[in-house]
């Protein structure tokens, strides 16, 4: 069978200053600049009958209202069933791009600038990938990576049956799966699935970044293949999407920012490089076979789960979403949350639930016990629409590869059970069935019923209760049977769009420092291989420069300045700060750091800063210096 395949990259970086960052859920983590631009990497496939689109986004989470906005703007032939929009789950991206209130607490509400930047970028990537369709050969390969993840919830993992534990001897999922795209015999794209949280950068970081998976893609594209993100014509696209990463952490030292080193930036680079190296080491077996897609929307708060999926021979029912006390404790290995709460037992909440709440509702007890319930979620859902309750469950097929799209974070054993369902129905090789977590929406965590009873962070965040995974297995079983039999899947009822409570606008009444002009150089120094320059700045929110840059490092070549790095490069860091600390009408400064890479060509260099006021763009530059 012959395929057409296309690929493309687009910038989806939202606000990088005075905007809360999504992932860790800590209000103190407000963005103050940029380290690595966020990208959408899109891959279009066509087999003469069926189209598929996979878009991998350097985003903390994917939300249904964003997906809806994007789908309405895609070329004809692409819809909710055959488009998968998935996130790498960086915890250092801007918040505010959904209407669901829980995820906007760190940024004060819905932020149109960030939403539009993300939506426009995803649409641009997908549209370009469709236009890029050309004859291609696909290959699939597998490998293993054992030094880029650790189980952060071992107490819960150990409650699983021995057979499940034996499948993961190190309590991690080491499988690396690579789908390669060749055109005219040349490698044109690669998609590498591997399970590890995108949390090498800690909640103390204030720079927007794609974290370890963003770096893995950057390393392969920019440093190995020489892609220039600003020229709009990438010759190669590499994406590193997630699988079942719910309990997988890159912090090998079992503490935030620890492992393999004590430097969060270096950890991000190392874990990214290890994923890249595992990808290039994986095999490449040519594949053929049809493309196919199924999707259904499920109300996870009200699923009757049949006995064959519950594990105890009896039917059970899920419940409306309820976060547990453990969910507010945070995942200690990646970043603690609220003091006074902890994974496991929380005596006050546990006792109130056991003796006061559960006796009043046997159904709630069956679904949610032993979770220590916290918020009155039914009331808050009606008043504020905190979280989604309906989610799209998807199954895509690319030849022998099956992708189970789950709108949330799935632990490795929960993922194994979902994979076994699809493999059992379709006859696929288990290694070729992957859970694509963080896809098309967000419904928080999914643990096994056994893991759920431990009420670690992941179990406390399994909102719909102990039977949530069996409900998903039942749903995925239906999709797999429909795909196998060539029959349609029931669409179900989608989540209604949430109301958007706008954040208070940032006032960007910029003032230059007294006696200075915008873009003026305030200071410049060099310490070894690090150059630091400080400029009179304007607020980055005036123009997000999507598809552009706030920073350029230039080299003098034949009497002309040539760009060698920008704010999307690992070697640069861009910091912005108000000079006075005032909330409005303040002057500000931009600090640019360039760490001169090893092997940089000798010559004359300079650093340029580009900014924007309401009156228009401006630039500033350092004096030339020698490298």
* DSSP 3-state of 598: coil
Query: 0.95 cut: is pTM over it?
Result: yes
User: Is 561 in the same domain as 476?
Assistant: no
User: Is 59 in the same domain as 144?
Assistant: yes
DSSP 356: I
Comparison of pLDDT for 418 and 381, the residue scoring more = 418
Q: What is the pLDDT of residue 324?
A: 94
- Give how many domains the chain has, as a whole number: 2
Tell whether the model's pLDDT for residue 585 goes beyond 70. Answer: no
Domain boundary among 466, 485, 504: 485
C-alpha closest to that of 597 among 269, 276, 279: 269
Q: Rounded to an integer, what distance in angstroms lies between the CA atom of residue 342 and that of residue 336? A: 9
Binned at pLDDT 50, 70 and 90, residue 584 comes out as very low
User: Is 31 in the same domain as 149?
Assistant: yes
User: Is 221 in the same domain as 99?
Assistant: yes
Q: What is the pLDDT of residue 53?
A: 98
Domain assignment present for 335 = no
**Strand order across the 291-299 sheet:** 291-299, 390-398, 401-405, 433-436
Tell whether the model's pLDDT for residue 446 goes beyond 80. Answer: yes
Domain assignment present for 324 = no
User: Is 89 in the same domain as 179?
Assistant: yes
Q: What is the pLDDT of residue 232?
A: 80
User: Is 173 in the same domain as 68?
Assistant: yes
Domain assignment present for 255 = yes
Domain assignment present for 219 = yes
Tell whether the model's pLDDT for residue 581 goes beyond 90. Answer: no
DSSP codes joined into one string, 495-545? PPPPP--BPPPPP----PPTT--TT-EEEEEEETTEEEEEEEE--GGG---
Domain assignment present for 515 = no
User: Is 448 in the same domain as 559?
Assistant: no
Mean pLDDT of the region 336-351? 88
Domain assignment present for 506 = no
Domain residues for the domain of 474 are 11-296+388-485
Instruction: Give residue for tokens 């007294």.
Output: 514
Q: What is the pLDDT of residue 508?
A: 78
Instruction: Give residue for tokens 């639930």.
Output: 353
User: Could you confirm whether 583 is annotated as catalytic?
Assistant: no
User: Is 466 in the same domain as 572?
Assistant: no
- Active-site choice (149, 153, 200, 249): 249
Mean pLDDT of the region 422-429? 98
Mean pLDDT of the region 486-505? 94
With left for phi above 0 and alpha for psi between -120 and 50, is residue 362 left, alpha or beta?
Answer: alpha
Domain boundary among 434, 457, 485: 485
Domain boundary among 469, 485, 501: 485
Q: What is the pLDDT of residues 455-465, one digit of tens each?
A: 999 999 999 99
Tell whether the model's pLDDT for residue 530 goes beyond 50. Answer: yes
Mean pLDDT of the region 86-98? 98
Binned at pLDDT 50, 70 and 90, residue 514 comes out as confident
Mean pLDDT of the region 67-77? 97
Q: Rounded to an integer, what distance in angstroms lies between the CA atom of residue 198 and that of residue 200? A: 6
Domain assignment present for 351 = no
User: Is 542 in the same domain as 474?
Assistant: no
Q: Rounded to an integer, what distance in angstroms lies between the CA atom of residue 612 and that of residue 383? A: 39
Tell whether the model's pLDDT for residue 250 goes beyond 90. Answer: yes
Structure tokens at 80: 């909710």
User: Is 278 in the same domain as 144?
Assistant: yes
Mean pLDDT of the region 239-244? 98
Tell whether the model's pLDDT for residue 582 goes beyond 50. Answer: no
User: Is 405 in the same domain as 549?
Assistant: no
Q: Rounded to an integer, what distance in angstroms lies between the CA atom of residue 76 and that of residue 412? A: 36
Q: What is the pLDDT of residues 138-189, one digit of tens each?
A: 999 999 999 999 999 999 999 999 999 999 999 999 999 999 999 999 999 9
Binned at pLDDT 50, 70 and 90, residue 383 comes out as low
User: Is 188 in the same domain as 264?
Assistant: yes
Domain assignment present for 363 = no
Q: What is the pLDDT of residue 506?
A: 83
Average pLDDT of the chain is 96
Q: What is the pLDDT of residue 161?
A: 98
């Amino acid at each position: 069978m012959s395929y057409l395949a296309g690929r493309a990259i687009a910038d989806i970086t939202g606000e990088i200053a005075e905007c809360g960052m999504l992932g860790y859920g800590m209000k103190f983590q407000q963005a103050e600049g940029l380290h690595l631009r966020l990208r959408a990497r899109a891959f279009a496939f066509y087999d003469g009958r069926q189209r598929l689109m996979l878009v991998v986004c350097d985003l903390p989470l994917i939300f249904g209202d964003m997906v809806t906005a994007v789908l309405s703007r895609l070329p004809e032939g692409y819809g909710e069933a055959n488009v998968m929009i998935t996130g790498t789950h960086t915890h250092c991206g801007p918040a505010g791009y959904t209407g669901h209130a829980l995820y906007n607490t760190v940024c004060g509400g819905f932020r149109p600038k960030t939403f539009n930047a993300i939506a426009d970028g995803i649409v641009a990537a997908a549209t370009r990938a469709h236009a890029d369709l050309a004859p291609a050969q696909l290959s699939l390969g597998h490998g293993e990576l054992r030094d880029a993840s650790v189980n952060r919830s071992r107490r819960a993992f150990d409650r699983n049956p021995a057979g499940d534990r034996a499948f993961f001897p190190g309590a991690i999922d080491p499988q690396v799966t690579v789908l390669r795209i060749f055109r005219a015999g040349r490698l044109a794209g690669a998609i590498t699935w591997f399970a590890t949280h995108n949390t090498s950068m800690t909640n103390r970081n204030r720079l927007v970044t794609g974290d370890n998976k963003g770096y893995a893609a950057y390393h392969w594209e920019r440093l190995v293949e020489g892609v220039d993100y600003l020229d709009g014509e990438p010759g190669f696209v590499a994406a590193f999407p997630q699988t079942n990463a719910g309990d997988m952490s890159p912090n090998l030292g079992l503490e935030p920012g620890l492992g393999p080193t004590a430097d969060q930036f270096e950890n991000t680079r190392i874990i990214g490089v290890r994923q890249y190296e595992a990808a290039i080491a994986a095999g490449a077996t040519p594949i053929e076979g049809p493309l196919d897609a199924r999707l259904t929307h499920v109300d996870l708060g009200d699923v009757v789960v049949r006995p064959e999926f519950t594990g105890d021979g009896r039917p059970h029912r899920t419940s409306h979403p309820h976060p547990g006390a453990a969910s507010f404790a945070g995942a200690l290995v990646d970043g603690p949350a609220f003091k006074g709460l902890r994974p496991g037992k929380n005596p006050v909440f546990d006792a109130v639930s056991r003796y006061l709440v559960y006796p009043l509702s046997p159904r709630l007890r069956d679904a949610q016990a032993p979770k220590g319930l916290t918020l009155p979620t039914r009331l808050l859902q009606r008043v504020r629409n905190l979280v989604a309750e309906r989610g799209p469950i998807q199954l895509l097929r690319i030849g022998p590869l099956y992708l189970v799209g789950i709108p949330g974070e799935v632990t490795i054993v929960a993922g194994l059970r979902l994979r076994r369902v699809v493999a059992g129905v379709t006859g696929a090789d288990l290694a070729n069935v992957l859970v694509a977590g963080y896809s098309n929406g967000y419904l928080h965590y999914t643990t096994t019923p056994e893991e759920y009873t431990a009420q670690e962070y992941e179990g406390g965040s399994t909102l719909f209760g102990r039977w949530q995974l069996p409900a998903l297995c039942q749903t995925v079983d239906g999709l797999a049977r429909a795909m196998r039999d060539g029959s349609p899947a029931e669409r179900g009822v989608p989540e209604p769009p949430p109301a958007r409570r706008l954040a208070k606008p940032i006032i960007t009444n910029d003032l230059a420092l007294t006696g200075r002009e915008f873009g003026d150089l305030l200071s410049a120094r060099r310490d070894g291989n690090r150059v630091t320059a400080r400029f009179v700045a304007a607020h980055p929110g005036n123009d997000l420069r999507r598809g552009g840059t706030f920073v350029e490092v230039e080299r003098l070549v034949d009497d002309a300045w040539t760009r060698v790095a920008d704010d999307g490069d690992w070697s640069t860091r861009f910091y912005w700060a108000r000079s006075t600390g005032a909330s409005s009408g303040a002057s500000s400064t931009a600090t640019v750091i360039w760490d001169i890479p090893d092997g940089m060509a000798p010559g004359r260099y300079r650093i340029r800063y580009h900014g924007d006021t309401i009156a228009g763009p401006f630039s500033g530059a350092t004096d030339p210096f020698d490298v």
